[in-house]
């Protein structure tokens, strides 16, 4: 009798857990679809604004301040200050807030940065509007970035090697 009860309880627990996992997966799909649609609408409207440049890939940017001199390449290691937000203004990462510039290889970052950073000279400050397909797509690296989100980065290029 006790074994039967234990088996029934385990089966019920497995069924309940399975239900909640499936429900959570469905909620994530709905949220990702909404993020995709919201990003698409944002970028369509943003592209109409004065000063916004749209590349063939769909990356959008605006020049806040030009720099001078040579520009980094995909093989460069750059030092930047950046401030990353979602379309609604939610900050998900900021070297500016940390007070510590970030150094990294251009080839090791999202495609939107790989395309955008080589447009800049040292001292330049750009704002990048990155569609989800040039950002993290459906594989978010952090709970702060929903799957399917388009991202906005304000980037200042401090130097490169």
Rounded Cα–Cα distance for residues 116 and 106 (Å): 10
Exactly one of 126, 128, 129, 136 is catalytic; which is it?
A: 136
Residue 87's nearest CA partner among 49, 33, 34, 129 is 129
Active site (annotated) includes residue 82? yes
- Known catalytic membership, residue 110: yes
Parallel, antiparallel, or unpaired for β 125-130 and 60-65? antiparallel
Residue 92 annotated among the catalytic residues of the structure:
yes
Q: Name the active-site residue from 61, 93, 126, 129.
A: 93
Strand partners, 133: none
Q: Looking at 92, 126, 128, 129, which residue is catalytic?
A: 92
93 is catalytic: yes
In this structure, is the dihedral angle defined by the CA atoms of residues 58, 159, 124 and 140, taken in order, positive or negative?
A: positive
* Catalytic annotation, pick one of 42, 82, 128, 160: 82
Catalytic residue among 38, 52, 104, 110: 110
Residue 160 three-state SS: strand
Q: Please pick, among 61, 126, 128, 153, the residue that the annotation labels catalytic.
A: 153
Q: Would you call 61 a catalytic residue per the annotation?
A: no
Whether 129 is a known active-site residue: answer no
Give the active site residues: 82, 92-93, 110, 136, 153
């Amino acid at each position: 009798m006790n074994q039967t009860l234990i088996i029934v309880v385990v089966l019920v627990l497995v069924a309940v857990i399975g239900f909640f996992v499936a429900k959570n997966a469905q909620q994530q799909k709905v949220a990702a679809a909404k993020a995709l649609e919201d990003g698409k609408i944002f970028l369509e409207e943003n592209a109409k604004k004065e000063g916004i440049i749209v590349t063939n890939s769909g990356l959008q940017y605006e020049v806040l301040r030009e720099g001078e001199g040579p520009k980094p390449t995909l093989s460069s290691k750059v030092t930047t200050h950046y401030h990353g937000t979602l379309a609604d203004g939610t900050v998900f990462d900021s070297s500016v807030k940390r007070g510590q510039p970030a150094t990294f290889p251009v080839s090791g970052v999202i495609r939107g940065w790989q395309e955008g950073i080589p447009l800049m000279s040292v001292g330049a400050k750009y704002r990048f509007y990155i569609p989800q397909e040039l950002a993290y797509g459906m594989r978010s690296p952090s709970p702060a970035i929903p799957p399917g989100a388009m991202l906005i980065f304000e980037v200042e290029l401090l130097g490169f090697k």
